[in-house]
Amino acid sequence: MSVADTAEKIKNMEIRGAGKIARSAAGALSEYSAGIAAKNMPLKEYLQNMHKAADILKGTRPTAVSLPNAVNITLRGIDSATITSTADADSLLQRNASEFIGNSKLAIQNIAEIGARYIKDGDTVMTHCNSNAAISCMLKAHEQGRDFEVFATEVRPRNQGYLTIKTLSDAGIKTNFIVDSAVRYFMKKVSLVITGCDAVTVNGAVINKIGTSQIALCAQEARVPFIVVGETYKFAPKTVMGGHIDIEERDASEIMPAEKAALLKNVTIRNPAFDVTPAEYVDYIITEKGAIPPAMAYLIIREHLGWEIGEFDTIRNGKSVS
Ligand code: RUB
């Protein structure tokens, strides 16, 4: 798919979920690179075009760190002095993109294996939003014969919860669909909460769909373990150097039709898409490298991401980071 189409679909959420956004961005860059390399474009021009495309993709949704990480990993090395032709740059980029996409799919399989071990016979699992990583753990536990049921939230205003219950129900997992405001009411029946994540900061805070932090609070009150699952490329290197994660605020029309909102003269409709769950509410973060306590987020950033994707250098050189 073209960069423009991919960017549009990410913006309007036809492509959504942090992992899928990341893989689609890598795929679009690889297609674009192959296209312009085939036209024998001079290296300088090729690089300018690739960075422009990268910026377009990075600018689509601000919160999921998987997006800039995927873009940076895909472009890694194409500007280096050892690359002297467009063909070399393109073949490096193709390798980066296919490695990233392959590793990202593999990561989900590993997370599913590890995450499934936390789900026991007789458990009641609560989940929020529509996370491929979280769902994979439940599907794997079900596949392995564990008998458990799920409470899945509706997820206002975009109703991603429907996608979750449809997948779980199709797989034959007993699922209860609840409105977001019923979380505390049902928490006493729940033995484990599993959610995905869009970003993890250096202090182990987790950014995920709006409402996640309220669920974490309820889980802590009820002493229910709260587990977050996410690939390592959802950890945010820029937070080591004081960078912040922007919380996307989406259009008010997702909450109320514009004509109806227009009647409310003194009302501002607020629509944040994500919130921050502090590390102390999170029992484990399960990555493809294994389960870690949130306090170990720095190690993941340093050992599995950090310098590799060049964000630290970008910060050192005084350029802005995304
Ligand atoms: C999706 C969301 C998901 C994470 C993780 O929000 O909050 O929990 O992105 O998903 P949105 P995954 O619908 O606004 O994109 O595990 O699939 O990467």
Cα 320 from Cα 322, distance rounded (Å): 7
Q: List the helix and strand counts (H, then E) for the chain.
A: 12, 10
Helix runs in 117-225, H state only: 132-143, 160-170, 183-187, 212-221
Residue 128: CA atoms inside 13 Å, Cβ hemisphere, count?
33
Pairing of strands 199-200, 149-153: unpaired
Cα 272 from Cα 240, distance rounded (Å): 24
Cα 293 from Cα 308, distance rounded (Å): 23
Output the CA 242–ligand 1 centroid distance in Å: 24
DSSP one-letter code for 305: I
Task: Categorise residue 13: left if φ over 0, alpha if ψ from -120 to 50, beta otherwise.
Answer: left
The predicted model gives 307-321 an average pLDDT of: 49
Output the CA 3–ligand 1 centroid distance in Å: 21
Output the CA 134–ligand 1 centroid distance in Å: 10
Amino acid at 175: T
142 lines ligand 1 (CB under 6 A): no
Atom of ligand 1 nearest to the CA of 274: 7
Residue 304's pLDDT band (cuts 50, 70, 90):
confident
Output the CA 157–ligand 1 centroid distance in Å: 14
165 lines ligand 1 (CB under 6 A): no
Structural domains of the chain, with CATH: 3-109 (1.20.120.420), 110-307 (3.40.50.10470)
Q: Identify any residues that bridge with 127 across adjacent strands, giving them in sequence order.
A: 152
Tens of pLDDT, residues 108-118:
999 999 999 99
Tens of pLDDT, residues 194-252:
999 999 999 999 999 999 999 999 999 999 999 999 999 999 998 988 889 999 999 99
- Angle among Cα 93, 97, 103 to the nearest 5 degrees reads 145
Query: In the numeric block, which tokens belong to residue 111?
Result: 């997370």
pLDDT value of position 315: 45
Residue 63's pLDDT band (cuts 50, 70, 90):
very high
Cα 135 from Cα 160, distance rounded (Å): 13
16 lines ligand 1 (CB under 6 A): yes
Cis peptide before 157 (omega within 30 of 0): yes
Amino acid at 19: G
The best mutation among 13, 103, 127, 129 to test binding of ligand 1, ranked by most ligand atoms within 8 Å of the C-beta, falls on: 129
22 lines ligand 1 (CB under 6 A): no
Percent pLDDT > 90 in the chain is 92
24 lines ligand 1 (CB under 6 A): no
160 lines ligand 1 (CB under 6 A): yes
pLDDT value of position 317: 47
Cα 91 from Cα 161, distance rounded (Å): 40
The predicted model gives 304-322 an average pLDDT of: 52
Which residues are catalytically annotated?
129, 198
Output the CA 39–ligand 1 centroid distance in Å: 37
